[in-house]
Structures are given as C-alpha cells and as structure tokens.
Amino acid sequence: NAGVTQTPKFQVLKTGQSMTLQCAQDMNHNSMYWYRQDPGMGLRLIYYSASEGTTDKGEVPNGYNVSRLNKREFSLRLESAAPSQTSVYFCASSEGKYNEQFFGPGTRLTVL
C-alpha cells in the first residue's frame, strides 16, 4: 500500500496563478482532510470531506476550493495564489471521524 500520496512535492507560483494539489489514498478511508503547516502555528484545517460527495470548511478555507472526486481522491485548488498561501500542505485520511489520520508527505508551495 502506498498510503496517502500527494503531487507535486514542490511548487513555485507567481501571485495570481492557479494550481491544484492532488491527493489520493489507497486505504479505502471515508474521510479526507487538507491542512496547511506554517512555522509556529501547527497544522490548520483548510477543508475536510467526511465521506464521498461531501465537503466542509475548516479553520482557514478562504482562498481555497476542494473537490472530492471519488472515494480515493481529494484535490485542493488555489484559484488566485497569494504570498500568504506560501506554506506546506498536507493531505490526510482516516477511516472515520474518530480515528487516527494518515498523512501524505506534503507539498511545499512558495508564492512569489
């Protein structure tokens, strides 16, 4: 099992550009999550999907959109990137709302 995979690993954008971060899991988990990690601020939840076909906002959803394409895949889109979105982005999945999460390796995004 590959677990949770994320692409790309690194990305540099210019202000105003758009991009989609891809995430896939092969553990047949129902719930998937997107977090951003900034120094000294821990992980902050951007969006999550409790099950296929549903999505919900987290703590910091502004500037982002998500798509739960199917049970395996959960993508995060930045429509118009801003320097404040420079961060490391982690995707995670879990078997349910109350179980531990499994994390991907992260995407390091820099917005110039």
Partner 1 sequence: AQSVAQPEDQVNVAEGNPLTVKCTYSVSGNPYLFWYVQYPNRGLQFLLKYITGDNLVKGSYGFEAEFNKSQTSFHLKKPSALVSDSALYFCAVRDGNIKDTNAGKSTFGDGTTLTVKP
Task: Provide the binding-site residues for partner 1, judged by CB under 8 A.
Answer: 4, 31, 33, 35, 40-45, 48, 50, 56, 58-59, 90, 92, 97-98, 100-106
Minimum CB distance to partner 1, residue 46 (Å): 11
Element (H, E) at 65: strand 64-68
Instruction: Pick the closer one to partner 1 by CB: 4 or 109.
Output: 4
Question: Cα–Cα distance between 16 and 34 in angstroms, integer?
Answer: 21
Instruction: Pick the closer one to partner 1 by CB: 73 or 95.
Output: 95
Minimum CB distance to partner 1, residue 12 (Å): 17
Instruction: Pick the closer one to partner 1 by CB: 19 or 45.
Output: 45
Minimum CB distance to partner 1, residue 2 (Å): 13
Minimum CB distance to partner 1, residue 100 (Å): 4
Instruction: Pick the closer one to partner 1 by CB: 85 or 93.
Output: 93
Question: Cα–Cα distance between 40 and 82 in angstroms, integer?
Answer: 20
**Ramachandran quadrant class, 53 (left: phi over 0; alpha: psi -120 to 50; beta: rest):** left
Question: Cα–Cα distance between 87 and 63 in angstroms, integer?
Answer: 13
Question: Cα–Cα distance between 110 and 37 in angstroms, integer?
Answer: 13
Place of tokens 């099992």: 1
